Amino acid sequence: MIDLVIVGAFYLALIIFLVKNRRRVEIIGKVVFLLKGRRGIKTFDKLAKIGWLWEIIFTIGAVFCIFLIFSGIYSMLAYFFLPTIMGVGSPQTAVFLIIPYKSTLLFSIILLLLVHEASHGIMARVKGVRIKSTGVGAFLFIPLAFVEVEDRDLEELRRLDRIKIFSAGSFTNILVYLILALIISSFLHPFLMKEMMEVKGVKISYVYGGTPAYESNLSAGMVIQEINGVKINNLSDFRMVMGKVGVGEEIELIADHKSFRIRTSPHPQNESKAYLGVGLSEEVGVREDAKAKYGIIGDFILWVYDFLLYSSTLNLLIGVVNLLPLFITDGSRLLYDFLDYLIKHAGVKRMVYNAINLLTVFLFASGAMNALFRGTFFLL
């Protein structure tokens, strides 16, 4: 209840702020509301004074992001056109709906936007590019932030300098993911598993295409409760039960309290073992005794844990997707400048650029549609 009040208060404040400044609000397509200003530019100027540090970080970032662009395209091609690698089908695609319906997710989106746009702004100032405006807004119910630079200044830069600016946002998002993942795995998760949480089941993380699980309509996100009448509390229980199942044997699996009859197939790496074709993780929950022991402090620790999980996931997800050449992304602009190093003829370069973008849009949209038709979409 408190969580809903926090989210509601944020949106109420945002609406009041936009209405109060409605004369300065730009409306795009009746769904995007942008309020431009100058806040934050002086901070960018101050941080840009340590330009040598940003040069090192974002030079590494430029190389890394170029690698991610092409590895991302290759991964999507491999998913669609190389459906089996060493006999294992491709994992089932899923669509995640990012709707800020709780405070941890809402503040994770805000953190994501701040570090992404601030990185663009700082690197732009390091290179002497003027910033016309900064601002906030909303796309329907999703908060927005932006940094608008002087296009003429940007065009006058060297290609490599533009690439550094374009890659700064996504690279910083990925760095934030790595830092948060380290904090979670090294400190928070071990503490919580020792003091407050316990394993309460086995969750399906992904389903490989063309496998018994796929054909039986199991999907990512389901929690397995039983196999052949045996309760599954953790991964050890799952391995023990499946170790007794033969190849070609039909099992009854209960997931999300629904019954599935699945006939196993030979394991791709060991044909003597039964195979379902799922990736698994353990579902955890708060112990009853921990609620009484830690009280409101425990609630706050769990809130921080949830916030860091969402933040790390979103920073990685958006950081990588933003690098895919989809015409409107930073990755597309980065690719356009990088192709100058490979193709000297402007007309040929434009054709290659458009072809890569169209291919990526097709692959991205196909994966999303496949997930939607199979019903594999989730709220983050």
pLDDT tens per residue, range 182-192: 999 999 989 99
Could you say which of 224, 256, 284 is where a domain stops?
A: 284
In a domain, 127, yes or no: yes
This model's pTM is above 0.75: yes
Q: Provide long-range contacts, Cβ within 8 A and 24+ apart, for 13-17.
A: 14/136, 14/138, 14/143
Give the range among 69-78, 193-202, 259-268 with minimum mean pLDDT: 193-202
Q: Are residue 44 and residue 122 in the same domain, yes or no? A: yes
Give the range among 55-64, 112-121, 279-288, 348-357 with minimum mean pLDDT: 279-288
Q: Are residue 214 and residue 269 in the same domain, yes or no? A: yes
Here the tokens at position 55 are: 């040069």
In a domain, 95, yes or no: yes
Q: Are residue 322 and residue 185 in the same domain, yes or no? A: yes
In a domain, 292, yes or no: no
In a domain, 237, yes or no: yes
Question: Any idea what the CATH number is for the domain that residue 239 is in?
Answer: 2.30.42.10
Residue 66, pLDDT > 90, answer yes
Q: Are residue 108 and residue 235 in the same domain, yes or no? A: no
Q: Are residue 276 and residue 371 in the same domain, yes or no? A: no
pLDDT of residue 14: 87
pLDDT of residue 376: 54
Q: In the chain, pLDDT over 70 holds for what percent of residues? A: 93
Per the structure, how many domains does the chain have?
Answer: 2
pLDDT-based confidence at residue 85 (cuts at 50, 70, 90): very low
Beta strands in 16-63 (DSSP E): 25-28, 32-37
Give the range among 46-60, 139-153, 350-364 with minimum mean pLDDT: 139-153
In a domain, 62, yes or no: yes
Phi-psi region of 360 (alpha: psi -120 to 50; beta: other; left: phi over 0): alpha
Cβ atoms of 11 and 106 within 8 Å: the answer is no
pLDDT of residue 98: 74
Cβ atoms of 77 and 362 within 8 Å: the answer is no
Domain that holds residue 171: 2-192+302-379
Q: How far apart are CA 64 and CA 201, in angstroms?
A: 38
Beta strands in the chain (DSSP E): 25-28, 32-37, 84-85, 88-89, 95-97, 131-139, 142-149, 197-207, 223-227, 230-231, 250-255, 258-263, 265-267, 270-275, 278-286, 377-379
Average confidence (pLDDT) over 176-197: 94
Which of 21-30, 172-181, 191-200 has maximum average pLDDT? 172-181
Q: Are residue 115 and residue 171 in the same domain, yes or no? A: yes
Bigger pLDDT: 116 vs 100 = 116
In a domain, 67, yes or no: yes
